[in-house]
Structure 1
Amino acid sequence: MITYITVCGTGEHARVPGNMLNQVAARLGGQVDHHDLDYPASIACFNPYGDISGVSEAESRRRGVANLAAAIRATPHLVVLSGYSLGALVVSDFLVAKARGAFADCMVVAVVNVADPGRRAGYSYGLPSFGFGLDGQHAPWPPGIDVYQIANPVDGITSAPADSPLRVVADKIRSFSITQQGAVEWFDDMIAQLNGQQATQIQANWWRPEFWQAYAEAPGWLRGYLFDGQHTIAYGRPSWFSESGHRVNGIQLAAGAVAHYA
C-alpha cells in the first residue's frame, strides 16, 4: 500500500470527485490510500469560493508546502505525489526545499504531475516533450525520485516555447479563472498588452525571424488556454501513449504511473 497525495489546481475544490487528480485517484480505487491535500488553491480572487479577498499565489504555495509536509509525516506508507497546475508548483516547491536540506524526514518515491507550469524541458511521459513550463524550469529536485510529467504539447501553461512572449505575463495568465465572466474582454486586453510589449522590443529584434514567429503564435497559445480547454479538458482526451503502446488520456496515463507503486 502507498499513500497517494494529490494537490489540486487553482480554483478546484479538494475532495470533489470532478477535480483533475481526484479523477486519477478514482481509477486506482482501493489500490492506494488517497489523500487530497487541503490548501487554499487560490491566486487572489481566483479561488474555490470566489472570495475577492482570497490569499495570494505565494501564500497558497507556502501553506500548500507546509500542509504537504504534514501529510507525508502523518502516513506510515511510501508516498507518491501528484500536483495539477498550481498544485504542481506546490509539489515542486516542496521538492526544491527538500533538495536544499529541508524535510529530511519526508520520504517520497515518485512524482506524477499534470500540466506543471514549472516543468523542465525534456521531461514528458507518454508524448515527446515540447517547450517547458510557462513559469520557467524548476530548480533541482532530490535525486532518487521517479518523475512523470504529463504535458499536453499545446498547453501553453506547461509546454510554452522557450521564447514565448507570454512568459512576461505568466502570472496574469495563470491567475485567470477558466470560468470567469468577461473572457473575451480579458483575452482582448492580453492581446493589447502583447502588442505593446512587441512594439517596445521591435528595434532590438526586428531582424530575428523567431521574434516575429513567437509573437505571431502567442494569441493561439492564449486562445488554447482560455477557449479550447488545452489546460483542462484536453487531459481527458486519448492523446497520449501508455508504456504498452495503447492510446490513453492524461488521466489514465497518470493513474497507470501511480499504479506502478501500488
Structure 2
Amino acid sequence: MIDIITLRGTGEPRNPDGAPAGMLRDVTKLLDPEKFTAFEPNWPASVGPTPDVWGPSLETSVRLGVAAGVRAIQDSPNVCGLLSYSLGGICASRILEGVRSGKYKNFDGSPLEIAFVVNIANPMRKAGQSVGNLCPPSTYGLHGQRGAWPGLDVREYANPGDIITSSPPDSPLRVIDVGISPFSFVEGARFGNVTPLIFEELLRFLLQNPLANLDRYSKAVQGVIGYLTPWPDGQHVLYSGRNMPGTNVLWTTHAADYLNATY
C-alpha cells in the first residue's frame, strides 16, 4: 500500500476528512484502492497578500503546507507518494528539497520514504522536465525552478500553454515588481482583484521599449488570457477537461493510469 499525500491548488476546497477534492480528485478517484490511499493535509492553499482578501500570504501558506505534508508522511506507516496541483507543487517541491538536504526526516531520524511525485501545473517545474516532453526545453515554472530532490520517480504534467508551469525565461511576468511574487500576482487575477493591474503592468513593460518588447509582451498577454479562460478550456485548468496531447485521455486520467500501471 502506498499512501498518497495530495497538495491542492489555490482556493480549492478541502474535505474535513482529508479526502482529496478539486483537480486532484480527478486523479485519485481512478486509483486502485487495493494499492493506494489518498489524504489532503490541512493547510490554507492561499496566496495572500492580505488575509481578508485572498487568505494568508503565499509564504505563510507554503510554510504551513510543507509542515502539514511532512507530518502526514511521518505519520504514515507506509511508503508515500506526493500528488500536487498548482500551488501545491511549491509545497511538494519544498518538501523534496528538504528531504534531499536532510532537513525533513522520520521521528526516529530515518529518511522519509517517498516513492514518487506527480505534479500537475507545478509553478516550480524544472526546465526540461515534462511528461511527453510537451514543453519547450527552455521554459520553466513561473515561481522559478526547483532545487535538488532525492532520487525518486518524477512526473511533471505541464501544458505548454500554461504560464504557471511553462513560461520562457524572459517573460515579463517574471519581472513585474508589485511587491509580491509573480505567481501570487497572476493567481490574484483569478482569486482577487488584480486583473486590470496585470495588464497595466504589462503595458508599462511594453512602453519601456516598444520595438524590443513587443514579442515578449504579446506572448505574456496571450498567456494571461489563456490562464483566465474558465474550465474546461483555460490553460491552467484544462488538465481535467481536455485530453492530453498525443493521447485519448484527460491529463488527470493519464496520471492515474501511470500510477496504477507502475505501482
**TM-score interval, smaller chain:** 0.7 to 0.9
Give the aligned residue type for 2:129: Y
- Give the aligned partner of residue 257 of structure 1: 258
How do 1:15-30 and structure 2 match up within 5 A?
15=15, 18-30=21-33
Give deviations 1:106-140, integer Å, cap 9, x for gaps.
Answer: 11111000000110111111342221111111111
Q: Secondary structure at the match of 1:173?
A: helix
Offset, 1:173: 3.3
Q: Secondary structure at the match of 1:80?
A: strand
Give deviations 1:204-252, integer Å, cap 9, x for gaps.
Answer: x95x5xx4311121110000001251101344211234xxxx4221111
Give the aligned residue type for 2:48: A
How do 1:1-262 and structure 2 match up within 5 A?
1-15=1-15, 18-30=21-33, 31-44=35-48, 51-52=52-53, 54-104=55-105, 105-130=111-136, 131-142=139-150, 144-169=151-176, 170-176=182-188, 178=190, 186-200=194-208, 202=209, 211-227=213-229, 229-241=234-246, 246-262=247-263
Offset, 1:178: 2.8
Judging changes above 3 Å, is the alpha-carbon distance between structure 1 residues 45 and 164 closer, same or farther for their aligned structure 2 residues? closer
Judging changes above 3 Å, is the alpha-carbon distance between structure 1 residues 149 and 158 closer, same or farther for their aligned structure 2 residues? same
TM-score (norm: length of structure 1): 0.84
CA contact (8 A) 1:10 1:46 kept: no
Query: Quick one: distance in 2 between partners of 1:172 and 1:100?
Result: 26
Query: Quick one: distance in 1 between partners of 2:40 and 2:118?
Result: 14
Is there any run of 5+ residues in structure 1 with no aligned partner, and where? none
Is there any run of 5+ residues in structure 2 with no aligned partner, and where? 106-110, 177-181
Query: Quick one: distance in 1 between partners of 2:239 and 2:67?
Result: 31
Judging changes above 3 Å, is the alpha-carbon distance between structure 1 residues 174 and 53 closer, same or farther for their aligned structure 2 residues? closer
Give deviations 1:48-105, integer Å, cap 9, x for gaps.
Answer: xxx5372111111111111111101111111110111110000001111222221133
Q: Secondary structure at the match of 1:247?
A: coil
Aligned residues: 244
TM-score (norm: length of structure 2): 0.84
Query: Quick one: distance in 1 between partners of 2:67 and 2:184?
Result: 25
Query: Quick one: distance in 1 between partners of 2:184 and 2:9?
Result: 16
Query: Quick one: distance in 2 between partners of 1:8 and 1:80?
Result: 14
Q: Secondary structure at the match of 1:11?
A: coil
